[in-house]
Amino acid sequence: MQQETVTIILPTYEEVDSLPSLIDAIAEVKKQTLANLQLIIVDDNSDDGTESLISEKNLEWVRLIVRRGEKGLSTAVIRGLEEAESEYCIVMDADGSHPASAIPNMISALIEGADFTVGSRYVQGGTTEDGWGVLRWLNSKIATLMARPFTTVNDSMSGFLGMKRETFLAAKDLNPVGYKIGLELIVKCGCKNVVEVPIHFRTRQLGESKLTLRVQWEYLQHVIRLLRYTHPNFVSFFTFAAVGVSGLGVYILALMLTPLITAIWIAMTWNFFWDRKYAFWYARSKSIFVQYIGFILVCSVGAIANYFITTWFVNNSHAIPLAGLVGGLSASVIGVVFNYVFNKALIFRK
C-alpha cells in the first residue's frame, strides 16, 4: 500500500497531552505501510500549546488548521475532509482511544470495495477497555440501537471512520450538527457496504472528555433529523397520530371546564401548534395565520364526519356488537387519516 494517498484527519480540542504519542504511532504506520500519508489536525483554538507543539515538531506531512471562530466536532471533521486532497481519508479521535495500527486494515477494506469503514468495538476481535461504567455502556448501547433505522453497523457510534474522498464529495444535504458525524456520513453519502474493522478501544488516558449531557440531547435531535430525511412520510404521519392522541387528552380535560365548542377549538389549536412544529416541519416557513385557518377548516370537516360515523354506528347498535366502541374507534382512525391527508395535501404543502 505504499502508493495509495491517505489523509488522516484529527479533530482536536485541548488534546495537547495526547497528541505526541498519537503522532508517533501514525508516523510508524507511514514508515511501515502508507508512505503517502498526510495528517491534518483541525483544532478549535485550544490555547493549550497545541500550536507550538506542532510547529516545534515541524513535520512536512503534518498540517495544523486552527479554527478561531468556529467550534464543534462534526464541522471540524468536515473541514478536514474538505481540505484533504488524497484518494482515501481516515478520521480518528486524538485522545488515544483509536489505535493507529488499525489504519492499514481500514484502507485495505476501502481498496477491496467498501464504501465506508469504521474502526469497531463491537465485531469479533474488537474490544473495549475495562473500566467503562454501566452508565456509559448503557448509553452507548441505547445510542447504537437508535441508529438502527439507518444502518446495521454494529458500532455506528464510532468516530474512527474511513472513506474514499469521492464518497465524501458525493454527500447530499450534509448537516454536521452534533457529535455523530459517522452516522451522518453513512446516511448522506448513501453508503451501503460498510466494513467494520475490529479495534481495541482504549479509554482516554489524558485530557478531558467532551461527551456531555448536551451532546446526548443533540444526538436525539440528530436521530430525528435523519429519520425525517430517510423516512419523511412515516415520521410525519406517526407524529400526527401521536399529537392526535395528546389532543384527545386535552379535549377531555377541556370538556370538564368549558362548553363543547370551546373544548373542540382548544384541542384543535393544541394540535395545530404541535403538528405544525413536528408533523409538518418542512412547511414552517409559510404563513402561520393562513395555515391555522386552513387547519381548523379541514379538522372541522373531519370532526363532522367523525360525528356522523359514530352516530351511524350507535343507531345501528342492534345489528353490530359493541357498536359504540367500534364506531368511535373506526371514526377516530378515519378522522386521523382524513385530517392528515387533507392537511398535508392542502394546508402544509412542501
Ligand X SMILES: Nc1nc2c(ncn2[C@@H]2O[C@H](COP(=O)(O)OP(=O)(O)OP(=O)(O)O)[C@@H](O)[C@H]2O)c(=O)[nH]1
Q: Which residues bind Mg ion (CB under 5 A)?
A: 93, 95, 97, 204
> Site size for ligand X, by CB under 6 A?
20
Residue owning grid cell 508517533? 24
Distance (Å, whole) CA 13 – CA 210: 9
Map the footprint of ligand X across residues 218-237, applying CB under 6 A: none
Cell matching residue 12: 482536536
- Nearer to Mg ion among residue 4 and residue 43 (C-beta): 43
Contacts of 141 (CB under 8 A, 6+ apart): none
User: 73 contacts which partner out of ligand X, Mg ion, none, CB within 5 to 8 A by kind?
Assistant: ligand X
- Distances, alpha carbon 109 to alpha carbons 86, 104, 235, in Å: 16, 9, 34
Instruction: Please select the residue that binds ligand X; options are 6, 8, 9, 15, rule is CB under 6 A.
Output: 15
Closest CA to 144 of 190, 199, 186: 186
Cβ neighbour number for residue 166 with a 10 Å cutoff: 10
- The residue among 50 and 339 lying less far from ligand X, judged by its C-beta, is 50
CB 178 within 8 A of CB 219: yes
* Three-state secondary structure of 115-162: CEEEEECCCCCCEECCCCCHHHHHHHHHHHHHCCCCCCCCCCCCCCEE
Among 37, 39, 40, 76, binds ligand X (CB under 6 A): 76
In angstroms, what is the minimal distance from the CB of 59 to ligand X?
19
* Interaction residues for ligand X, span 55-74 (CB under 6 A): 71-73
CA quadruple 85, 89, 94, 100: dihedral, nearest 10: -120
> Which residues, other chains included, contact 130 with Cβ-Cβ below 8 Å and sequence gap of 6+?
none
Residue nearest to ligand X according to CB distances in the complex = 209
- Indicate the residue among 3 and 55 with the shorter CB distance to ligand X: 55
- Under the binding rule (CB under 6 A), the answer on residue 44 touching ligand X is yes
Query: Per-residue contact track with ligand X, 152 to 181, x per CB under 6 A?
Result: -------x----------------------
Using the contact rule CB under 6 A, the part of the chain among 36-44, 124-132, 148-156, 189-197 near ligand X is: 36-44
Contact of residue 220 among ligand X, Mg ion, none (CB under 5-8 Å per partner type) = none
Q: Return the bridge partners of 43, or none.
A: 12, 66
- Per the document, the length of the chain is 350
Considering only CA atoms, give the Rg of the chain: 27
Q: Which of 160, 84, 176 is nearest to 117 (CA)?
A: 160
From the CB of 46, what's the least distance to ligand X, in Å?
Answer: 8
175 binds, among ligand X, Mg ion, none (CB under 5 to 8 A by kind): none
Footprint of ligand X on 314-333 (CB under 6 A): none
Query: Is residue 73 a contact partner of residue 58, using CB atoms and an 8 Å limit?
Result: no
Q: Which residue's CB is nearer to ligand X, number 69 or number 321? A: 69
Per-residue binding letters, 196-215, with ligand X (x by CB under 6 A): --------x----xxx----
> What are the residues binding ligand X (CB under 6 A)?
11-13, 15, 42-44, 71-73, 76, 93-95, 97, 159, 204, 209-211
